[in-house]
Amino acid sequence: MTSLLSFYQDIGPTMTLLVVLTFVLAGAVKGVIGLGLPTVAMGLLGLAMSPTQAAALLIVPSTLTNLWQLASGGHLRALLHRLWPMLVAIFFATLLGSAWLGIDSGPWAAHALGGALLVYALYGLIGPELRLNPVRETWLGPLCGLLTGLVTAATGVFVIPAVPYLQSLRLSRDEMVQALGLSFTVSTLALALGLASQDVLGAQALGASLLVLVPALLGMLGGQWLRQRISAALFKRCFFIGLGVLGAHLLVNG
């Protein structure tokens, strides 16, 4: 129990409250639009701690909520058959990128995180609706996976360019939700291995990450309740605007 709480004892009550509220909000965003938990968590926590610490905290809630998302839909076998080149590239690029780049606390790390958030927000707000010719999937999928893995290794954010690529495949709603869960699960597991190879993901970090699973799940359940009562399109627009402002702040100020 001591190892579970030691991280929060070290950072103090104010930072602990920030972590809890961040994961409630991040879970709520995921509950409404089906993605965004690690993106929101990395962005907000990046204001107050190193990207390495933030990435270690999101491992358990991100993995379990993505597995929950992955388990529903009934299209897993077909999606694995179609997406395996991208998924393999994500996995190994994240591992190699962690060894090469690493999510450290250097002066460039927060700026890189801000840049990734800003690019994702701009794409969500004004990006064109893409439609990919299936013939191009054979080479574009692995390339997308390679780039996603490198961005994940450098920033802890694994939505660019994986999400635009998956959206361009014109999957059904259920297929898209499951494909996102599949991609994010692979990214999170590879990120966890990368952090472990840097001696960042020890017992203390895993314990701290396990404890934020509760606020993340509560936020996700609240977001699913909220989804039935608000316009998902309006919420999504507000989400990307807020994410863009946050990304711009981190990009400029670090």
d(CA 168, CA 85): 16
The domain ranges of the chain are 2-253
Report the pLDDT averaged over residues 55-65: 87
> How many CB atoms are closer than 10 A to CB 196?
16
Query: How confident is the model over 4-42, as pLDDT tens digits?
Result: 667 777 778 888 898 999 999 888 888 877 777 887 888
Task: Specify the amino acid at residue 215.
Answer: P
Query: How confident is the model over 118-138, as pLDDT tens digits?
Result: 888 888 788 777 787 777 888
**Angle at which helices 137-155 and 173-197 cross, to 10°:** 50
Q: Are 2 and 203 spatial neighbours (Cβ–Cβ below 8 Å)?
A: no
Task: Specify the amino acid at residue 195.
Answer: L
d(CA 211, CA 43): 19
Query: How confident is the model over 211-236, as pLDDT tens digits?
Result: 889 999 999 888 888 877 877 677 77
DSSP letter string over 226-243? HHTTS-HHHHHHHHHHHH
